[in-house]
């Protein structure tokens, strides 16, 4: 009788151990499921709490990131160079809009600036829309902010294009014409071949001589500069901290106009690390939009939607 009892007791003990393992497994799955649900709800709540301006900036940053990834594929280099950089002498106009970052650091710092100032600029547009005297309300300001961003980018690209074609290129031609014949012969031959294009070798040397002075531009700095300057004018009491050069918190207008002064100096000194003309073009567009842009946007909407009933105009 003792042996069967031990076996029975042993069997009962083994049965409890298996049940405990099963319970532990289900408990672990429940804990993992609870953790996943909690993480999902936290992320979803963060997304729901995000302002519309921040969501638009996230979308723009993601677009810039996709273009940067395309730049990292060597096989796509010829395609990206032709369609995603703007060369003033290329004869292409759509690249004024499609020229976006190829450098990671350039994209990183521009994205940081976009996420810092873009939502605030969108908030300003929303506030101004609520103060509109025409009572033509908008359900969202995201399209207004996108229109601002795209228009600022185009304005910056056009400013850079005009400076290269109307100032830099004539200066290059004047230098070639005034240079001594012995010293300027190779360059003059290159410039002449750019017009005649008699042989492939002379055309290549001409292109090299020209592109050494007039280089293609790319990036979204001009569009972001516009959001920065408009934010500085709309919220003058805010303070910012610059990364380059490192500074303590300073009034936003001091920092923004200081950066504009650096771009003016770079333009006068001929610095070529950045496209200073595009920076200044975007900054000036932001200043103009702060003063007149909202009015033009409302006028455009009125003309697009047609005449409004008296009830909407408050008459």
Q: Is residue 204 part of a domain?
A: no
Two tokens, residue 71 = 């730049």
Residues 6 and 141 in one domain: no
- The answer on pLDDT for 40 being more than 90 is no
> Does the residue 289 lie in any domain?
yes
Domain of residue 42, residue span: 1-49
Average pLDDT over residues 47-76: 90
Q: At 135, is the pLDDT very low, low, confident or very high (cuts 50, 70, 90)?
A: low
Segment among 50-64, 131-145, 260-274 with least mean pLDDT: 131-145
My answer on whether 39 and 83 are in the same domain is no
- Average pLDDT value for the chain: 80
Position 197 scores a pLDDT of 45
Task: Give the Cβ contact number of residue 283 at 10 Å.
Answer: 27
For residues 87-98, give the mean pLDDT. 87
**Does residue 297 fall inside a structural domain?**
yes
Bridge pairing between strands 250-251 and 239-240: antiparallel
User: Residues 9, 120: one domain?
Assistant: no
Residue 177 lies in a domain: no
Range name among 14-18, 20-24, 260-264 with the lowest pLDDT average? 14-18
Closest C-alpha to 128, from 116, 138, 119: 138
Mean pLDDT over 225-233 rounds to 95
Q: What is the mean pLDDT of residues 306-311?
A: 59
User: Which of the residue ranges 84-93, 190-199, 201-210, 283-292 would you say has the lowest mean pLDDT?
Assistant: 190-199
Q: What is the pLDDT of residues 259-272, one digit of tens each?
A: 999 999 999 998 88
Within-domain flag for 205:
no
Co-location of 37 and 132 in the same domain: no
When pLDDT is averaged across residues 196-217 and rounded to a whole number, the result is 58
With 50 as the cut, is the pLDDT of residue 70 above it? yes
pLDDT for residue 21: 65
Residue 186 forms part of a structural domain: no
In this structure, of 73-77, 158-162, 185-189, 278-282, the range with the lowest mean pLDDT score is 185-189
What is the pLDDT averaged over residues 127-146? 80
**Tokens describing residue 282:** 């975007």
**Which residue in the block uniquely carries the two structure tokens 């280099």?**
77
Work out the pLDDT band at 71, boundaries 50, 70, 90. Answer: very high
The residue among 113, 109, 104, 80 whose CA lies nearest residue 216 is 80
pLDDT score of 312? 57
Whether 146 and 229 share a structural domain: yes
Nearest residue to 186 via CA among 208, 169, 214, 213: 208
Question: Is 179 among the domain residues?
Answer: no
CATH code for position 67: 1.20.1540.10
Domain shared by 32 and 131, yes or no: no
pLDDT value, residue 198: 45
Mean pLDDT for 115-132 is 88
Question: Residue 64: its pLDDT value, please?
Answer: 92
pLDDT tens digits along 150-177: 999 999 999 999 998 888 888 877 877 7
Q: Same domain for 221 and 273?
A: yes
pLDDT at 210: 58
In this prediction, what percent of the chain has a pLDDT beyond 90?
39
Assess whether 7 and 150 both reside in one domain.
no
On whether the CB atoms of residues 274 and 221 are closer than 8 A, the answer is yes
pLDDT of residue 10: 47
Residues 128 and 6 in one domain: no
Confidence of residue 287 (pLDDT cuts 50, 70, 90): very high
Q: Clarify whether residues 229 and 100 are in a common domain.
A: yes
Do 41 and 73 lie in one domain? The reply is no
Q: Mark whether 78 and 124 lie in a shared domain.
A: yes
Read off the pLDDT of each residue in 117-134 and give the average, rounded to a whole number. 85
Q: Specify if 184 maps to a domain.
A: no
Q: How many domains does the chain have?
A: 2
pLDDT at 134 over 90: no
What is the average pLDDT across 261-289? 92
pLDDT score recorded for residue 209 = 56
């Amino acid at each position: 009788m003792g042996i069967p009892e031990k076996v029975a007791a042993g069997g009962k003990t083994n049965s409890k151990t298996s049940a405990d393992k099963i319970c532990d497994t289900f408990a672990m799955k429940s804990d993992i499921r609870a953790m996943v649900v909690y993480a999902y709800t936290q992320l979803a709540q963060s997304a729901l709490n995000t302002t519309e301006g921040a969501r638009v900036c996230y979308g723009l940053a993601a677009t810039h990131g996709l273009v940067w990834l395309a730049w990292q594929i060597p096989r796509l280099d010829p395609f990206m160079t032709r369609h995603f950089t703007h060369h003033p002498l290329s004869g292409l106009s759509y690249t004024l809009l499609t020229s976006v970052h190829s450098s990671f650091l350039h994209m990183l710092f521009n994205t940081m600036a976009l996420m810092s100032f873009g939502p605030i600029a969108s908030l300003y547009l929303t506030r101004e829309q609520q103060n509109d005297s025409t009572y033509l309300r908008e359900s969202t300001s995201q399209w207004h902010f996108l229109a601002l961003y795209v228009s600022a980018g185009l304005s910056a690209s056009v400013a850079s294009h005009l400076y290269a074609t109307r100032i830099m290129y004539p200066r290059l031609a004047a230098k070639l014409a005034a240079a001594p014949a012995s010293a300027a012969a190779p360059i003059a031959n290159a410039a002449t071949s750019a017009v005649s294009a008699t042989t492939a070798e002379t055309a290549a040397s001409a292109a090299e001589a020209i592109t050494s002075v007039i280089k293609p531009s790319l990036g979204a700095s001009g569009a972001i500069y516009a959001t920065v300057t408009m934010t500085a004018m709309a919220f003058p009491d805010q303070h910012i901290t610059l990364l380059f050069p490192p500074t303590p918190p300073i009034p936003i207008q001091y920092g923004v106009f200081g950066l504009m002064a650096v771009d003016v100096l770079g333009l006068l000194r001929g610095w070529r690390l950045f496209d200073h003309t595009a920076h200044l073009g975007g900054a000036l567009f932001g200043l103009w939009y702060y003063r007149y842009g909202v009015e033009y946007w409302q006028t455009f909407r009125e003309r697009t939607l047609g005449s409004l009933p008296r009830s909407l105009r408050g008459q």
